[in-house]
């Protein structure tokens, strides 16, 4: 997949040169193209923002630099343009799965009080991380891009790595343990040492159901409980 990032702070994305995503680049599974929006402004002073018409606090990113940067990105990556902004649909794992199927994506990172409204006709999708404010679109783009790229075959090494993670089936993940067997007076549950894979699977499923019900009731209410789930939970079928 080719990822084009349009930003005022290209250096922030050096984070993708490390760890799993870094290795994926070395293996030519992922390719990044970073565009500095400031390089495309026609202002001799390299300005990319201006005061808002009608007054108000802060500055607004001007349309010309953004649109010209989008056009430049599309010359080598004719992909959907995604804007990280407050009007967008809340990003989640299902969206990540869908976007991971694309051959390329273009991410626009906003700043200041937002972007000129006339830029929106060049944007295909807008996503938000939630109802809180960040210092810039880069802070939102990094986790969004990471969540998409790790779903691409070959990035994690083997696809099974993400099959049972939190949110992959609408539930939070079950508890995980490793050595030592006992730590600060607490031991690993005996079921995990039993070697009985079917019982372990059922235990993990029950733990996921209970944890999701306790901590994320909003997710739990959307789960279609199977007959086995109801049996594990002690719910009688009506």
Each of the 238 residues of the chain gets a pLDDT tens digit; together they read: 999 999 999 999 999 999 999 999 999 999 999 999 999 999 999 999 999 999 988 999 999 999 999 999 999 999 999 999 989 999 999 999 999 999 999 999 998 889 999 999 999 999 999 999 899 999 999 999 999 999 999 999 765 466 556 676 789 999 999 999 999 999 999 999 999 999 999 999 999 999 999 999 999 999 999 999 999 999 987 6
Domain boundary among 159, 175, 192: 159
How many CA atoms does the CB half-sphere of 213 hold within 13 Å? 11
Which CATH number does the domain housing residue 67 bear?
A: 3.40.1280.10
Strand pairing of 80-90 and 125-128? parallel
> Whole-model pTM?
0.87
Range of the domain at 153: 2-159
Same domain, 172 and 79: no
Same domain, 147 and 174: no
Residue 138 forms part of a structural domain: yes
Bond preceding residue 180 cis, omega within 30 of 0: yes
Do the domain assignments include residue 18?
A: yes
Co-location of 171 and 144 in the same domain: no
| 85 lies in the same domain as 184 | no
The structural domain count of the chain equals 2
Same domain, 145 and 180: no
Give the pLDDT confidence of 143-188 residue by residue, as tens digits: 999 999 999 999 997 654 665 566 767 899 999 999 999 999 999 9
Question: Annotated binding residues for S-adenosyl-L-methionine, as ranges?
Answer: 110, 129-134
């Amino acid at each position: 997949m080719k990822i084009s990032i349009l930003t005022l702070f290209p250096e922030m994305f050096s984070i993708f040169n490390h760890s799993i995503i870094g290795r994926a680049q070395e293996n030519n599974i992922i390719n990044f193209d970073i565009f500095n929006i400031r390089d495309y402004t026609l202002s001799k002073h390299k300005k990319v923002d201006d005061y808002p018409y009608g007054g108000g606090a802060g500055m607004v990113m001007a349309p010309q630099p953004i649109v010209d940067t989008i056009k430049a990105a599309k010359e080598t990556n004719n992909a959907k343009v995604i804007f990280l902004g407050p009007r967008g649909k809340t990003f989640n794992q299902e969206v990540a799965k869908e976007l991971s199927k694309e051959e390329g994506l273009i991410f626009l990172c906003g700043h200041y009080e937002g972007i000129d409204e006339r830029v929106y006709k060049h944007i295909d999708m807008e996503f938000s991380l939630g109802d809180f404010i960040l210092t810039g679109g880069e802070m939102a783009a990094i986790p969004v891009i990471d969540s998409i790229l790790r779903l691409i075959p070959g990035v994690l090494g083997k696809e099974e790595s993400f099959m049972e993670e939190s949110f992959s089936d609408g539930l939070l993940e079950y508890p995980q343990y490793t050595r030592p067997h006992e730590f600060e007076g607490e031991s690993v549950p005996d079921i995990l040492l039993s070697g009985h894979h079917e019982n372990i699977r059922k235990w993990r499923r029950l733990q996921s159901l209970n944890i999701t019900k306790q901590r994320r009731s909003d997710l739990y209410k959307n789960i279609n409980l199977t007959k086995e789930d109801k049996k594990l939970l002690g719910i009688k079928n009506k």
